[in-house]
Amino acid sequence: MHAVVIDAGKLHWRERPDPCAGDHEIVVAVRAAGVNGADLAQREGRYPAPPGWPPDIPGLEMAGEVVSTGEAVTRFAPGDRVMGLVGGGGQATLAAVDEAHALAVPDGVSWPEAGGFMEVCATAFDALFGQARLTVGERVLVTGAAGGVGCVAVQLAALAGARVTASVRDRALHDAVAELGAAEVIEPEAVTDGGPYDVVLELVGAASLPCALRALATRGRVVVIGVGSGARLEVDLLSLMTRRARVFASTLRGRSRAEKASLIAALGARVVPALAEGRLRVPVTGTFPLRDAGSAYERFAAGGKLGKIVLVA
Ligand SMILES: NC(=O)c1ccc[n+]([C@@H]2O[C@H](COP(=O)([O-])OP(=O)(O)OC[C@H]3O[C@@H](n4cnc5c(N)ncnc54)[C@H](OP(=O)(O)O)[C@@H]3O)[C@@H](O)[C@H]2O)c1
């Protein structure tokens, strides 16, 4: 197979041995693989792959056709269209995926959309519903809402009957984010005067969270998922106490096989139907050939995009 390979902080297109399917794994001929901030951080040596995953082939999500299956695989057969979550190695022409971390791609969903689905949907779904327990009628603030996770979070929250405020710094993207179901799209500076928010999905980090905390409702929940703008800040603990607030924070990549399997099963049951029916979409701003991952990473880093950048084979 060929793979995007990180070597000395640069991306290369290299030949690598084909993966073999372990007992519970399927090997997928990759048609599309989403780019994530984690890939860029891994290229810079700041986010190594967890043990058991290719240390130098990036890629946390992909979609394609099953080419072979392990002996214990029951859900998929060669030829099936699947999308999968991996701890690394997704940006290659072949990738091995645990069958419990894969879902069937609904008919009519394009390869780029499927390739960019798993990481952002699993992250947004788990944060909003697994951690913050967002419910119908609540107010939610999604910061960094024009990005990959944000675009999906806005839609999932709106579909669940929450009132969504999206914070987006690029004015040119406000209308597009509103079309995803946000009741209001505001600039980050306006967050403090808004709310009160029952749930804050923090995708930006230190540059954003202080304003969001000031607008948190009594019994509000904050989920910290992204810290691209910085990971350190001073917090007024008293204001959290008086609000009886709860703060959650998590990463997805390092979770156990079982934890990921139960999250993916919930995605399959509760989110994929919306994707299949066109009530949820994964906006894709640009696609790039897999062998030209460098250009895709450059586009991702430039910002000002709606949703995802996806590599296609
Ligand atoms: N914890 C986890 O398991 C997990 C999983 C997936 C992603 N993440 C993290 O979650 C974050 C969001 O992921 P993503 O895939 O949505 O990334 P993304 O597509 O790059 O989106 C990030 C969004 O945040 C905006 N933004 C960045 N810095 C900002 C600032 N200082 N002020 C206001 N807005 C700012 C960006 O705006 P511009 O386009 O204008 O730059 C962009 O719209 C990233 O940090 C990512 O690494 C964490």
Distance 37 CA to ligand 1 centre (A): 7
Amino acid at 208: S
How much is the pLDDT for 254? 87
If you classify domain 2-117+253-312 with CATH, what class do you get?
A: alpha beta
Q: 120-249 — its CATH code? A: 3.90.180.10
Q: What are the tens digits of pLDDT across the range 48-66?
A: 999 999 999 999 999 999 9
Ligand 1 binding pocket, CB closer than 6 Å:
36-38, 119-120, 123, 144, 146-150, 169-170, 188, 203-204, 207-208, 225-226, 228-229, 250-252, 303-305
Between CA 150 and CA 166 the distance in angstroms is: 8
Pocket-testing residue among 39, 86, 204, ligand 1, by greatest number of atoms within 8 A of Cβ: 204
Mean pLDDT over residues 65-90, rounded?
Answer: 98
Distance 226 CA to ligand 1 centre (A): 6
Q: What are the tens digits of pLDDT across the range 101-144?
A: 999 999 999 999 999 999 999 999 999 999 999 999 999 999 99
Domain ranges of the chain: 2-117+253-312, 120-249
Global model pTM greater than 0.75: yes
Distance 36 CA to ligand 1 centre (A): 9
Q: What are the tens digits of pLDDT across the range 276-305?
A: 999 999 999 999 999 999 999 999 999 999
Between CA 46 and CA 210 the distance in angstroms is: 25
Is the fold of 2-117+253-312 the same as that of 120-249? yes
